[in-house]
Structure 1
Amino acid sequence: MNKLLVTGAAAMVTLSGAAHAQSSVTLYGLIDAGVTYTNNQINTTGAGHSNWELKSGPVEYSRWGLRGAEDLGGGLKAIFNLESGFNVNNGQYTSSNRIFNRQAYVGLSSREFGTLTFGRQTDDMVDFVAPLSLTGTQYGGTHFAHPFDIDNLNDSFQINNAVKYQSPDFAGFKLGALYGFSNQAGGFSNNRAYSLGMSYMWGPLNFGAGFMQLNSDAATAGQLNTNGAVTDTSGSSLAGVLTSNAVPLGALSSRQQTWGAGVNYAFGPAVAGLVYTQTNLTQLFQSGLSTHFQNFEGNLRYALTPAVELSAAYTYTRAGGLAGGGNPHWNQVSAMAGYSFTRRTDVYVQGVWQGVSASSGSPLGAAWINGLTAPSSTNNQVEATVGLRHRF
């Protein structure tokens, strides 16, 4: 009898171990905090003053998440990812009305056919172009973003109600596509989104291209679809400048169209890159204007030692068709140095200077580095940050 019990127990342990080996759930996260100095920010009275502040996510947004997979056999897996961004200064979620505000999806993954997922997800500009720009990497991040993060390379917003496909690797090529439903009866195109992307890697060469379009009927119907594809966006800073309201650009215009491409080339311990993006905004809400923003970025990374990484970028941005007939343009210079204690923990120092030239009638005459609390009272702004980052 005892032998039967021992044998049965051993069989149960074996089966349990086999079942456990076929599925996994991983807790992961990143905490990034730093002290930031800004030479000029507008305060409540409208005057400009320098500012010292503790910032959450100066380089990468602080977040935690759960990801998992279950082996279904034949190279097919069920997968999921739930990811939440938070403010390390006060412990609050970065979005007040959702727990998993960064990503929340479930899907199927196949070695042979690729990955199909459903839920709140990143678009293809983030997946294919952002890694070639310093703002989309750990070597630059939030403050390195192009003005207003107008092209979303800093992943300032995600797409709700999204069906997304990513292909497997075909001799260095990868393809992607996403569609975000409006979820509105009688308003199929009111706040919907779709994007496409591709990448190619060959030895030291890495190329990527992407396209994203957001549609809204708000400009003509006067009502926002708050359950649609885009409900929180960067560009809310630009919205504040143009309309005195922090509302999504996807809702501000009848169409927001962004496309871009980039290339990185590695040689020895260095990686050099070029990125171009353009965002077209059609029929801006409350202004009736249509405009476009073009970003030209050159960047360089250099591994001075295995523990010390240096990076720098220059971005030139120009816009057209805005109020006052002016064509504002921005120059931005960014630099960062990081030291890694381990693969999970590092310290860094970074700085950004931004200058803007605009006509006297333009509402975009004030500099505003991405991620700072407020714009400058003048046409230039400087920030410097010393920070600590830990991954788990």
Structure 2
Amino acid sequence: MKKTLLVAALSGVFATAAHAQSSVTLYGLIDAGFTYTNNQGGHSAEQLRSGVVNGSRWGLRGAEDLGGGLKAIFTLENGFNIANGTLGQSSRMFGRQAFVGLASDQYGAVTLGRQYDSVVDYLAPLSNTGTQYGGTIAAHPFDNDNLNNSIRFNNAVKYSSVNYAGFKFGAMYAFSNSTEFANNRAYSFGASYDYGPLKFAAGYLQLNNDTGAAFQGASASNPGTQTGEYTFNAGRQRTFGGGVNYTFGPATAGLLYTQTNLSGTNGGNISPVQSGTTAGIGFGANSARFQNVEGNIRYALTPALTLAGAYTYTRANLGSGVNPNFNTVSLQSDYLLSKRTDVYLQGNWQHVSSNKNASGESIGPMLNGLGAGAASHTQDQVAVTVGMRHRF
């Protein structure tokens, strides 16, 4: 009898220990708001929108302790539209992230699956659009530098280092999964460094797209590229940038620069799949370039109330003398109702100058994420949103 009780007790202890070595977490974020736009396709618009600042999502994150500081990890993250319940990311079940890998306390992590690139991992947190203080609608025109993660990468292998006294780095390679190894692939690398109140970051991203097959008849449900979505009809995209943040008391100020160079555009257009606009700007040459300079600041007025703002100047060279200049301003006030729930008021303004395309037609502002036909018929566009977020 005593042996039986002892075995039962030890079994319970070992079961508890085994259970403690593994964990699975259900998490998510729901963002919904009312947006007023002064000119959208020639008319004012009032919309109930999902993911105005941060995309609505839910996910599963897990880890199993393998011993010796080694863990098996995974993340499955779904994106959805809270306004109508539909799936995001071209109707994928786990369109935001889906990966599995190994993480070492000493050497870092290697993960495989659908993942973010290094520009998103390291540089985006220093920007306004890559945080909760600006988000989707505050993205640089067309999210040309992917700081708002409009695209993610299929078939990707990624390495992320541990923190070496404030220094972190990583790299990603996304396979074409075809015999055309060098075509329809992507790779990136980046790093960040914390030095007291200063944080520095830099990143590089390159996409090689098969414009012949990938973009012929492409749509939101069948985009045809390695990433599963695309922002530009271009055979090659190179994006790089760097930035710095400085924290002083309750305030953080930042400055960053990014550049995106496109080649093999073949007279392509801005994509309606990710920018949420009509494909109204044609490239006048076989190449194009976007340069973005952003200054941002956020200030915790009280533990519950935060004010944030950013200004971005974007210089675009689209060929044939088409060189529009975009001036984008984002302002936000955010109030915490609890640790998990907040409400916000956000205003966004964009002005376009030198705004004639190769056909002599005006190029209107296109604030990111407002939906199809969102281009303004004037040189200015204003969007004001009142919304709330809940995290779980």
Match of 2:17 in 1: 18
Match of 2:209 in 1: 216
CA displacement at 1:7 relative to structure 2: 2.7
Q: Does 2:101 align with 1:121?
A: no
CA displacement at 1:13 relative to structure 2: 1.5
Q: Could you tell me whether the CA contact under 8 Å between 1:189 and 1:216 is conserved in 2? A: no
Instruction: Name the SS of the counterpart of 2:183 in structure 1.
Output: coil
Consecutive unaligned residues in structure 2, runs of 5 or more: 269-284
Partner Cα separation in structure 2 for residue 337 and residue 280 of structure 1: 34
Deviates more, 1:93-102 or 1:262-271: 93-102
Instruction: Give aligned pairs, total.
Output: 368
Partner Cα separation in structure 1 for residue 215 and residue 338 of structure 2: 53
When residues 156 and 364 of structure 1 are mapped into structure 2, their CA distance, relative to the original with a 3 A threshold, is farther
What is the 5 A alignment of 1:108-187? 108-185=102-179, 187=180
TM-score (norm 2): 0.90
Q: Deviation per CA, 1:316-339, whole angstroms, max 9, x where unpaired?
A: 0011143x4121110011100000
What is the 5 A alignment of 1:266-305? 266-287=247-268, 288-305=285-302
Match of 1:229 in 2: 226
Instruction: Work out the percentage of aligned pairs sharing the same amino acid.
Output: 59
Q: Deviation per CA, 1:240-298, whole angstroms, max 9, x where unpaired?
A: xxxxxxxxx2xx21100000011000001110000100000102134552010000000
* Equivalent residue in structure 2 for 1:360, among 356, 363, 366: 356
What is the 5 A alignment of 1:1-392? 1=1, 3-42=2-41, 48-185=42-179, 187-219=180-212, 229-233=226-230, 235=231, 249=232, 252-287=233-268, 288-322=285-319, 324-362=320-358, 365-373=363-371, 374-392=374-392
Match of 1:244 in 2: none
TM-score (norm 1): 0.90
Q: Deviation per CA, 1:75-115, whole angstroms, max 9, x where unpaired?
A: 11000000000000011111344200000000000111011
Instruction: Name the SS of the counterpart of 2:235 in structure 1.
Output: strand
Q: Could you tell me whether the CA contact under 8 Å between 2:51 and 2:136 is conserved in 1? A: yes
Q: Deviation per CA, 1:32-74, whole angstroms, max 9, x where unpaired?
A: 00000000111xxxxx111111010111000000000011111
Q: CA RMSD in A?
A: 1.8
- Give the letter aligned to residue 136 of structure 2: T
- Give the letter aligned to residue 190 of structure 1: N
Q: Could you tell me whether the CA contact under 8 Å between 2:324 and 2:356 is conserved in 1? A: no
Q: Could you tell me whether the CA contact under 8 Å between 2:214 and 2:224 is conserved in 1? A: no
Match of 2:277 in 1: none
Partner Cα separation in structure 2 for residue 384 and residue 97 of structure 1: 28
Partner Cα separation in structure 2 for residue 328 and residue 283 of structure 1: 20
Partner Cα separation in structure 1 for residue 123 and residue 211 of structure 2: 29
Match of 1:239 in 2: none
- Give the letter aligned to residue 190 of structure 2: G
Consecutive unaligned residues in structure 1, runs of 5 or more: 43-47, 236-248
